[in-house]
Each structure stands twice: as structure tokens, then as C-alpha cells.
Amino acid sequence: MLAAVLTGFLLSIFLVFAGKYFKGKLAVLSALVPLGLFLYFLSFINRVSSGEIITQSVEWVPALGLNLDFTLDGLSLLFTLLITGIGFLVFAYTAAYLKGHEYLDRFYGYLGMFMGAMLGLVLSDNLLSMFLFWELTSISSFFLIGFNNSSEASRKSAVLALAVTGSGGFLLLAGALLLGNVAGTYSISEMVALGDMIAQSESYILIVVLLFGAAFTKSAQFPFHFWLPGAMKAPTPVSTYLHSATMVKAGIYLLLRFTPVLGSTEFWNTTLIIVGGITMFYAAVHTLFRTDLKGVLAYSTISVLGLLVFLIGLGTQYALVAAGVYIVVHALYKATLFLITGIIDHETGTRDVTALSGLRKVMMPVAIAGLLAAISSAGIPPTVGFLGKELVYEATLGMADWAVVLTVLAIATNILVLYAGFVAGIKPFTGKLPEKFEKVHMPSYLMWLPPVILAVLGLLIGIYPAVIEAPLIKPLVDSVGLEGQAVHLKLWHGFNFVLGLSALTLAGGFLLYFLWKPSEKKENAISKLDFIAPKSLLLGFSAGFRSFSSMWTNFLQNGLLRNYVTTIVLFLVVLVGYSLFSGENAFHINTESLSEMTFYEVVIMGVMFMAVAFVVVARSRLGAVVGMGIVGYAICLLFVIYSAPDLAMTQFSIDTLTVILFVLVLSGLPKYIAKSNLITRIRDAGVSIGLGVLVSLIALAVINEPVNKEVSDFYAENAYILAKGKNVVNVILVDFRGTDTLMEIAVLTIAALGVYSLLKLRLDKDENIEKEN
């Protein structure tokens, strides 16, 4: 099974990177890959239907509990057959549909990646690897939706789909980790035995909510459904494969897979019934207002997904059988309808249902497939759709509470789904053929055969339901934890109440189809309500979020040095100031240990203070530089008084040099600028004084603390003994820390080189600028 999953990825890697050398010649050949896989999985059907569960385990990252454990049971088998079977038809169809497309190979690469990921998803027994495959399906869906990357609408839809399903993936990860933590294992099959323990744990509700979030986003449940109609921007084969038959059912798969672990609590059932119920009705009503064939199909797909969630929510044996049958039913007829839509689009160039009619005259086989799919979606006997619909009514009627309400909801939805199926499968082919379509011809057999095969299959299964009953549906019901052996599918139940409901549905559907005509006017009317649609709300939210973050970024990163400095200083003052005056070691000054003030010191301080004040308020550059020089010399005097002769000498020479440099270099600059107004200056003064006070307080606080002189004492003791020098400061610099001083010299050299080259630099551009002025 590992090989089966990897085949898709290998195909993908091969085609994406090497495909351009084959220029689409491999298209038909690559369809053999899904066919081979289909046959491979089909070979398991006897073993699985006899109750066997086939497993394979490959250790990947055992330390994280992340293993590639594959399990093939009834549920997985059904999905693998859908993925590979419909995959095969879609691969073949695409060869003709996108014939000659520049990036055909890449397209197949994405499809292959998706197929591998989807197989991995439905085969994984390990929650973490399941999450990985789940994400891979979202990513391949993103690439496929955005395949026409030159169209802006395509790109937007791709991003929207990725945003919705990606956030669902995030919820799945959170749910998986939480569940793994509670259960103590990531193996789903081991969790089944722990179901009661998990249901009683404190995190149960949270786990279920997280998994629901994942399933609802992936399977386009209300209010996350809006990405799916947008995803119809993808080429039609993608819509067929990912957005109707397989990927969107991943959420359904997740719910079914966890029914035995987390299901049959009231919270689980009620939430699913409500969400599924709203989705199926809401989306079905929307189909009435669409004129784009793919739009109609997208909303009816959402509606059926809602129905599936609803059935899982009912949770009875009948309901799960109905869900299983409906997955097959829907995959068969909806894929057919999508493929037909693709053919119509390909041959006539339009998907507008109001413009299409009479096409049966030019493409009869396609029309037959459309008719079969439409009556299957309508649930008219003897198609498999009829079987599914009967089961749904049996399930809703079998409920103890609310049976009437649920049944009415199901009937209303089915009437609308019937309408959608007829619009997509029958309407384009009936009526008078417009003149402009007279030259339309049949597409290649690669395109019309797949829908015909699917449609005929739907009819055959309807007539002989036993074909899917024992091999597929029973094992599926078994694997979700109910007794599957009691199930018996048959087309004819006799004249009973359910049959009456079916008749009612058909009557209602036909009435609706003949009375209600889709038109652009109606589509525009409903689009006026878009402002309260979840899509608009989400887009509004994301736009608001984006403008907020750009506002925030511009506020902090505004490119003005002084704002950065202000922010840093204020932050420092508030934070350090707070910790200085709070807690046990709050600030205090001990004046006893301090030395006395003498006259000279006070005078020096006074001079220095005045010099600093002069620098700050100086109106000329020269004045400021002179003031700065005075400050330096005053510091120099302080060093002399406090027994630091070396410092005094250094400070004196450096300060002199700086002043000279300033005066020499800056003589050519314009007038000293003073551009800020009074308010700015007062604000800046406040900030600066805050910092000054803080630094003074810290200095005072520190000199109250005892000082550790160990290192200094070592240098002082050993200056003469080890280094034969009497001036300890010099000895430290040139001997003990000689390497550091060497580095310092290197730094100064680099600075000197920089200064020299900047002075000598003559750029042509600069010269020009100077000449212009």
C-alpha cells in the first residue's frame, strides 16, 4: 500500500520536472497509473468484504509517534476505489480536454500528487500522517485551482480555497494532537477501543469541535462553503475530480472514520444534523439562482455534502447505509455532470445555461449520459439515485425525535437537487438548436466515453444493487462500528410510505423544473444579498486585518530615526523604571558611604552643566562644537581629580582631535537647521529627561551595592610580577588584554581607511550633481 501511495507522488515529481521534454505525449499513458491502482485495490475486495482488515506499517519518525501505518478496511476501500476509478477517467478525459496546453505535464503532475495524497489520507491509520496527507490535498488543490495562473480570479479563488481549507488543516492538527494526548496513541484503530474513555475526558468537546472545524472547511459546510463555488475556476477535470468526487469528501471520510471513536454522543449528533441540514437546504436554494452550469453543480455538490454530514449526524444504521450509498451515487452522477459540462464548455465555448439548448442533435451520446445522470440525481428508478433517496427517507423517518421536520427538510433538498440535476444534465440538450451551435461536433472519444461509462454504471448499480451491497456497503458500515450484515439493498420495496415520499419529491421537482427558469436577473437579485454572505464577511475581515497590520507596521516602522529612538527609550524607561521601584529591592539611597564635595569639583560640574546646556540650545554649529569640546575637557579634569591620568591624557587628545575634525570637515555645510516646533521639542525633552533621570537613579542604586574587585585585584597584584609594568592600566591594555587591543587597532585602521577613501572618492554621478547646481 505504501507503494500505491508513493506511485502518485513519483508520477508527480517525474512529470513536474521532466514532463516538459515529452510535451504532453505521456498524457494518455499516465492515465494507466490510476487504472493500475484501481485494479490493485479492486483485488482486495474479496478479502475486505469477508471482514478482513489489511494493514501495513512502516516506521517513519517513531520518536514522534509518526508512522506510516496503512489500513485498508471497508471505508478506506470505498474511497480508494473512487479515487483511482474516477481518477482514471479524469486522467483520460484531461488528455483531450487540455490537449496542446503548454503546461499539460505539470497539470498531470499536480493531479498525480493529489491522487497520492488522497490515497494516503484515506489509508492512514496514524493521525499525524493523516494530517500530513490532508495538508497535501489542500496544497495540490491550490495549485490546480490556480492552474490558469494568468487569470486574477483564478489566483484569488486559489488563495481563498487554501485559506479556508488550510485553516481547517490547522484545526485538524490541533485536534489530532489533543486527541493523541488524551488517548495516549496516534493510531486510530487503537482509539476505537478507548472511545468511552475519550468521550468522558474533559477535552472531548474541544476535540470534537476541532475535528468538526477541519471536516466542515474541507467538505464546504455552511458557513465555510464559499470556497467551493470559487474553486470552480479550475479546469473542469479538476472540478470533477477534486471538488465533487473526492477531495471535498475528505471531510465526510474524517467524520465517518471518527464515528466509532467520538460518535454517538448528543453533541456529536446534534451539531452534525444542524450544520448538515442548514448546508443542504441553503446550498440547494442557491442553485435556483445560478446560470453558470458549474455554479449550479457547485452548489448542488455542497448540498449533497450537507446531506452526507446530516446522515452521519443521524447516526443510525439506516442513515450510515444511506450515506455510504450516497457517496457512490453522488460520485457517479456528479462526475458525469461535470464532465458533460466540460464537454459543452469545450465545444460551444459557453456554460451559460440560458444560452444552451438542443445540443442532443449534435452530440447524442453526451446527451444520453446527461439524461442518465440527471435521472440518477433526481432519484428516478431504476437508477442508483433512487436507492439512495429511499434510504435517506427511511433514515429520517426512523428517527425518534423530529422525524417529520427532518424528513420535510430532506424532501425539500431533494426537490432542489433534482432541479439542479435536470438543469445541468437535460436542459442543454433539449429544445431547439440555435444556429450558432449547428457546427458543434462531437469531441474526441477520450472525452465523451468517461461520462457515458459513469452514467451507465449508475444505471447498472441501480438495477443490481447487490454489486455494491456485499463488497462495499456492508464492510463500510462494519468499519464505522455498526452491524453491516443486516443491510439489504433493493430497488423495489413495495408500495409503502417512503415510495409515496419519493413520488412527492419527483412531482415537486418536475414542477419546479418546468416553472422556474434560471435567468441572469435572478442571479443579480440574489447577489444583492452578498454583503451578509459568509464569503463577504471573511473577505471583509481579512481586508480589515490587512489594513490594520499595515497601519501598525507603518506606525512602528515609519522610517524616521527619531521615532525608533523614542520608542526604544520610552520602552526602556517604563520597563526598567517599573522594576526599579517595585518588588522587594525597591530603590533607596544610602548617603553615608559617599565622598564629600569640594570646591573644585563643584566648579567643574557647573562648567560642564552649562556647556551641555549650551550645546543643546546652540543656534550655530560652531557654538555647539565648542560646547562639546568644553564638556570633553571638563571630563578630562574629572579624570585628573579621580586618579585616572591615562584617561585624562586620552580624553584630552581625542577631544581636541574631534573638535578639529568637526571644524575642518563641516565648514562647508549649510546653516545649522532647527526645524522642529515647540511641541515636538517639549515632547522630546520629556523623553530625554525621563531617560536621564532613570540613568542617574540606576547609577545611585548601583553604587549602594557591594562591589566585587576580584579581577581588578588580580591585575593589580600581578602587573609587575608577571608583566613587569608599573602602570596597571597600560599593562592591562597591552599585555593582559593585548589581543583585544590589537583588534581595536584593526577597527581604527578600518575606520581610517573608510575616512580616507570617503574623502578621496569622486563619483561621476556626484560630479554631475555638483555641476548642475
Partner 1 sequence: MEVLLAIMIGVLYAAGIYLMLRRSLVKLIIGVILLGNGANLLIFLLGRITKGSPPIIPEESSTFLEAYTDPLPQALILTAIVISFGLQAFAIILVKRVFKVVKTNDIDEMNTTDAGS
Stretch 635-694 residues interacting with partner 1 (CB under 8 A): 635, 638-639, 641-647, 650-651, 654, 657-658, 661-662, 665-666, 668-670, 672-676, 684-685, 687-689, 691-694
Q: Which of 707, 739, 764, 771 binds partner 1 (CB under 8 A)?
A: 707
Q: At closest approach, how far in Å is the CB of 584 from partner 1?
A: 22
Core vs surface per residue 644-680: b (16+ CB within 10 A) or e: eeebbeebbeebeeebeebeeeeeeeeeeeeeeeeee
Which residue, 418, 382, 415, 388, is CA-closest to 505?
Answer: 415
Nearer to partner 1, 497 or 672 (CB): 672
Task: State the cell numbers at 538.
Answer: 471573511
Q: State which of residues 466, 603, 605, 742 lies at the interface with partner 1 (CB under 8 A).
A: 605
Q: Work out which of 521, 726, 764, 771 binds partner 1, going by CB under 8 A.
A: 726
Residue 313's nearest CA partner among 257, 255, 261 is 255
Peptide bond into 475 cis (omega under 30): no
Contact letters for partner 1, residues 367-396 (x by CB under 8 A): ------------------------------
In our burial notation (b when 16+ CB lie closer than 10 A, e otherwise), range 168-207 reads bbbbbbbbbbbbbebbebbbbbebbebbeebbebeebeeb
Which range, of 21-29, 93-101, 535-543, 756-764, touches partner 1 by CB under 8 A? 756-764
Cβ count near 572 (within 10 Å): 14
- Binder of partner 1 out of 592, 758, 764, 771 (CB under 8 A): 758
Q: Which residues in 438-457 contact partner 1 (CB under 8 A)?
A: none
Q: Is 719 in the site for partner 1 (CB under 8 A)?
A: yes
Shortest distance in whole angstroms from residue 651 CB to partner 1: 6
Toward partner 1, which CB reaches closer, 17 or 609? 609
> Rounded to the nearest whole angstrom, what is the least distance from the CB of residue 69 to partner 1 in the complex?
54
Please tell me whether residue 759 binds partner 1 under the rule CB under 8 A: yes
Piece of 217-225, 356-364, 428-436, 599-607 that binds partner 1 (CB under 8 A): 599-607
120 within 8 A of 5, measured Cβ to Cβ:
yes
Least separation in angstroms between residue 276's CB and partner 1 is 55
Q: Restricting to residues 494-513, which ones interact with partner 1 according to CB under 8 A?
A: none
Report the nearest approach of partner 1 to the CB of residue 221 (Å). 48
* DSSP at 55: E
Among 364, 525, 594, 742, binds partner 1 (CB under 8 A): 594
Site for partner 1 in 18-57 (CB under 8 A): none
Report 118-177 residues binding partner 1 (CB under 8 A). none
How far is residue 332's CA from residue 344's CA, in Å, rounded to a whole number?
Answer: 19
Residues paired with 352 in a beta bridge: 292
How far CA 85 is from CA of 51, 54, 224, 328, 482, in Å, comes to 23, 20, 28, 12, 27
Query: Of 406-445, which residues contact partner 1 (CB under 8 A)?
Result: none
Cβ distance to partner 1 smaller for residue 364 or 750: 750
Rounded-to-integer distance, Cα 54 and Cα 48, Å: 8
Q: Give the integer Cα–Cα distance in Å for 245 and 333.
A: 9
CB of 264 or CB of 749, closer to partner 1: 749
Phi, psi of 126, rounded to the nearest 5 degrees: -95, 125
Question: Could you tell me the smallest distance in angstroms from the CB atom of residue 633 to partner 1?
Answer: 11
Question: Whole-angstrom Cα distance, residue 683 to residue 606?
Answer: 26
Q: How many CB atoms lie under 10 A from the CB of residue 373? A: 31
**N-terminal to C-terminal alpha carbon distance within the chain:** 77
> Which CB, 202 or 596, lies closer to partner 1?
596
DSSP-derived letter for residue 428 is G
Report the residue number, 177 or 624, with the smaller CB distance to partner 1.
624
Phi, then psi, of 97 in degrees rounded to 5: -65, -45
- Taking the least distance from each CB to partner 1, the nearer of 403 and 685 is 685
C-alpha distances in Å from residue 538, one per residue of 97, 215, 740: 34, 18, 59
Q: Closest CB to partner 1 among 403 and 751?
A: 751
Q: Could you say whether residue 62 binds partner 1 (CB under 8 A)?
A: no
Name the minimum Å distance from CB 551 to partner 1.
18
Query: Stretches 182-190, 274-282, 361-369, 594-602: which one binds partner 1 (CB under 8 A)?
Result: 594-602
Closest contact distance (angstroms) between CB of 726 and partner 1 is 4
Least distance CB 742 / partner 1 (angstroms)? 12
Closest separation in Å from C-beta 308 to partner 1: 56
Which listed range, 148-156, 330-338, 370-378, 716-724, lies at the site for partner 1 (CB under 8 A)? Answer: 716-724
Please choose, from the candidates 307, 306, 376, the residue with its C-alpha nearest in 3D space to the C-alpha of residue 335: 376
Which cell numbers in the block locate residue 722? Answer: 608577571
- The binder of partner 1 chosen from 550, 727, 738, 742 (CB under 8 A): 727
CB of 569 to partner 1, least distance (A): 6
Q: How far apart are CA 315 and CA 263, in angstroms?
A: 8
Q: Which of 366, 348, 530 is nearest to 438 (CA)?
A: 348
Contact 97, 237 (CB under 8 A): yes
Burial of 440 (0-12, 13-18, 19+ CB in 10 A): middle
Q: Which of 435, 441, 761, 771 binds partner 1 (CB under 8 A)?
A: 761
In the complex, least distance from residue 749 CB atom to partner 1, rounded to whole angstroms: 9
- Considering the complex, what minimum distance in angstroms separates the CB of residue 576 from partner 1? 13
**Which residue from 715, 742, 764, 771 is in contact with partner 1, where contact means CB under 8 A?**
715
Distance of CA 440 to the CA centre of its chain: 42
Specify whether the CB–CB gap between 475 and 51 falls below 8 A. Answer: yes
Q: 341 in helix, strand or coil?
A: helix
Return the residues of window 607-636 that contact partner 1 according to CB under 8 A: 608-609, 612-613, 615-616, 621, 624-625, 628, 631-632, 635
**Which residues ranging from 527 to 586 are in contact with partner 1 (CB under 8 A)?**
559-562, 565-566, 569
Q: How far is CA 93 from CA 27, 127, 362, 372, 760, in A?
A: 10, 34, 19, 19, 71
Name the residue nearer to partner 1 (CB basis): 400 or 761. 761
Cβ contact 7:33 at 8 Å: yes
d(CA 414, CA 277): 12
Q: Of 485, 557, 582, 598, which one interacts with partner 1 (CB under 8 A)?
A: 598
Q: How far is the CB of 435 from partner 1 (least distance, A)?
A: 59
- State the minimum distance, in angstroms, from the CB of residue 728 to partner 1: 4
- How many Cα atoms occupy the beta-carbon half-sphere of 96 within 13 Å? 18
**Subset of 728-747 contacting partner 1 (CB under 8 A):** 728-729, 732-733, 737, 740-741, 744, 747
Q: How many residues bind partner 1 (CB under 8 A)?
A: 106
The residue behind cell 490537449 is 99
Could you tell me the smallest distance in angstroms from the CB atom of residue 596 to partner 1? Answer: 6
Work out how close the CB of 555 gets to partner 1 at its nearest, in angstroms, rounded to a whole number.
16
